């Protein structure tokens, strides 16, 4: 089980949203680079870095923060938010991302994303399957679609994509538990993908349950920042 702490960025600050609502924003730190260094010092090896300004825009807006974190830590960073062109994908990789998260574009132009998978390799791309009532949402969760999560994963897994992060928007930031039934369904249909769970995770027991049902990694955000999960306990429990 990989533990992946999250840093979400708006206006260069480390923030968390509730249910993806930009109007329910809480600032936790003025300097995301300091947060990343502290996470690494606690024993974390991975980082989920989200450019929320970029997610609402047509391109990433906080690549300089990605670059600073990559230069000053050894964290393996997956970066998302605004990856909507090949140029932005290349910029993110050059700025230090080990993987890029693609969400909206995979819905709007799936053939282009499949081409990128062939060109840059499946190991450098994670598809973001952010859902509300099992339907994919895009553009920083501001737009709902009628595309079912299982259809979305099936289409891309057939094209060689292996890494998917699934966030239940209604669970995100609530610290009330994750979508166990949804993840069970995904694992049952797609046992060979790397599934990353995200949204609502707030206890070590819950993470162990996710591990037991076949989830490969978890993204943890608000529960860390609010002190619900102790980072040292967390690292010790899974290392």
Instruction: Give the Cα separation of 142 and 139 in Å (integer).
Output: 6
Looking at domain 2-238, which of 3.30.930.10, 3.40.50.300, 3.30.530.20, 3.20.20.70 is its CATH number? 3.20.20.70
Task: Write the pLDDT tens digit of every residue in 12-23.
Answer: 999 877 666 777
Task: Write the pLDDT tens digit of every residue in 22-63.
Answer: 777 788 989 999 999 999 999 999 999 999 999 888 899 999
The ranges assigned to domains in the chain are 2-238
Known active-site residue 170: no
Instruction: Give the Cα separation of 76 and 93 in Å (integer).
Output: 12
Q: Which of 51, 53, 78, 130 is catalytic?
A: 130
- Given a cut of 90, whether residue 239 has pLDDT beyond it is no
Q: Which of 8, 51, 78, 168 is catalytic?
A: 8
pTM, whole model, 2 decimals? Answer: 0.91
Known active-site residue 172: no
Most distant pair of Cα atoms in the chain: their distance: 43
């Amino acid at each position: 089980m990989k533990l992946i702490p999250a840093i979400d960025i708006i206006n260069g600050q480390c923030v968390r949203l509730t249910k993806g609502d930009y109007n329910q924003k809480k600032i936790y730190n003025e300097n995301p680079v300091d947060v990343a260094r502290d996470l690494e010092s606690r024993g974390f090896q991975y980082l989920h870095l989200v450019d929320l300004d970029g997610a609402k825009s047509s391109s990433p807006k906080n690549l300089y923060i990605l670059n600073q974190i990559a230069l000053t830590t050894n964290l393996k960073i997956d970066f998302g938010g605004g990856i909507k062109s090949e140029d932005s994908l290349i910029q993110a990789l050059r700025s230090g991302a080990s993987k890029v998260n693609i969400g909206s574009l995979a819905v709007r132009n799936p053939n282009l994303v499949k081409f990128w998978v062939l060109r840059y390799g499946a190991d450098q791309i994670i598809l973001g399957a952010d859902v509300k009532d099992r339907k994919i949402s895009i553009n920083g969760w501001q737009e709902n679609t009628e595309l079912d999560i299982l259809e979305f994963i099936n289409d891309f897994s057939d094209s060689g994509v292996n890494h998917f992060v699934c966030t239940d928007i209604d669970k995100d930031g609530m610290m009330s538990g994750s979508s166990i039934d949804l993840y069970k369904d995904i694992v049952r249909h797609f046992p060979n993908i790397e599934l990353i769970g995200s949204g609502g995770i707030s206890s070590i027991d819950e993470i162990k349950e996710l591990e037991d049902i076949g989830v490969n990694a978890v993204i943890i955000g608000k529960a860390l920042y609010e002190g619900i999960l102790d980072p040292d306990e967390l690292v010790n429990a899974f290392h």
